[in-house]
Amino acid sequence: MTSTDSPNHADDLRDDRESVDDTEAVIRLGSMLLSSGTGSYRVKRAMSDAGRALGMDRIDATVGLTEITATAHRGDNFRTVAREVYRVRVDSSRIAALEDLAHNLPAGTTGRDLESRLDHISRNVRPKWAEWQTVLAGGVACAGFAILNKFSLADSLVVLVAASVGQFVRGRLNRRWLNQFAIAALASAAACLVYLLLADLLTATGLHTIHGPGYVASLLFLVPGFPMITSILDMVRMDFTAGLSRATYSIGLTLAATMSAWVFSAATGLQPLPAQTEFPTSWAWLAYAVATACGVAGFAVIFNSSPRMVVWAAALGVCGNLCRLGLISVHSPVQLAAGVGGLVIGLLAGPLSARTKLPRITLTVPACVIMVPGAAMYRTVFWLNGQDMTKALTFGADAVLTVILIACGLAVARMRTDPAWARNLPVPSPHAFKFSDED
């Protein structure tokens, strides 16, 4: 009998096939999480938990924006698999379902069992909201932004309609798998055009004089807040491969939308100047609270959050944003106020996530998006094209520093509640506990 016909060789072949199945199943889990928009740390942790349930010693993974390379180790054997993600989006419900699966797999699970459960999630975790609800959510989110940016109620209603049309265009083009940067540019152009038509109509009929600068608020549904914030969180975890790729993706989407808006501005002569509408003092904080809740809820619906996620994210957003606005009202630096707002949201989200069994990222990021200065980003590009470097740098620095401070607030809160973040420990694995203070 030759060595290739020996029982030991047959066992080795069977082990190899099982290893291939297991590794493919684990990396499929990771790619589904990545395509749902979560950060690289959560992807690696879910893959590590699943690999441990499947009997692997450890999984070493490199995660980017659209690709994963993972090496699974079992004894002296290892296998490396790479997978590409073809579509980047945000799906909070799928993140929750996949993380629940990964963290609750029983020991002894096989690759085929995991593949079967992933098939079930692919078939059954579908959009939670009808198209008209998602379209309206985009409009409501931008109307909330408009109130917080001190535009009038009439301006905000026009923004609601214009942004809803823009969200409708974005949704329909996404279904056709059009290039995402082209989608951002076309949706921005649609929202700007509808805003201008409605503003001219209301002004011409004498119903209300709409101020042109309000069109900038109708574009804020295009602000890529989720990848912006997760990119900084990834870099805090020293994962620059994922962090820098997400940051580049966010910058690309922002530039696509803002350049389209700039072409609209150049053609119409409108300038995205800040508004200065003041609400009566007795109603101001109520207006800001309602606007924040509506804005956060709108973005959460766009992110395909469940109704329970929407409610909790809105509550967290109101707490964090009112703290930010309170600090600004006593003349604290705007960026510092945003950081405190992110910190408050992160600290409240920790025990809330544990109690509700909802992933923290599905609560904190939608709650923080309302604080992202999208209008400042658009104004930066406008004044760059207008060759006014002073204004461009002013708005640009405000936008960049505010986003960084928001994410830093979340990171500090996470470090306060998670030792793996505070000490920069490796992603949980069978070897994680071998590290000592001297390592």
The tokens 């004044």 sit on which residue? Answer: 383
* Helix residue ranges, H only, 78-130: 92-103, 111-124
pLDDT at 19: 57
- Angle CA(409)–CA(411)–CA(416) in degrees, nearest 5? 100
pLDDT at 237: 85
402: tokens are 């505010």
pLDDT at 383: 83
292: tokens are 């924040």
pLDDT at 211: 58
pLDDT at 433: 38
pLDDT at 88: 83
Could you tell me which of 405, 382, 407 has the C-alpha nearest to residue 395?
Answer: 382
* Helix residue ranges, H only, 180-239: 180-204, 225-236
Q: Which residues of the chain are modeled with pLDDT < 70?
A: 1-20, 206-213, 273-282, 424-439
Pairing status of strand 77-84 against strand 58-63: unpaired
Sheet (strand 67-74) strand order: 58-63, 67-74, 77-84
pLDDT at 18: 55
pLDDT at 119: 93
pLDDT at 417: 79
HSE, side-chain direction, 13 A CA sphere, residue 95: 28
pLDDT at 209: 58
pLDDT at 405: 93
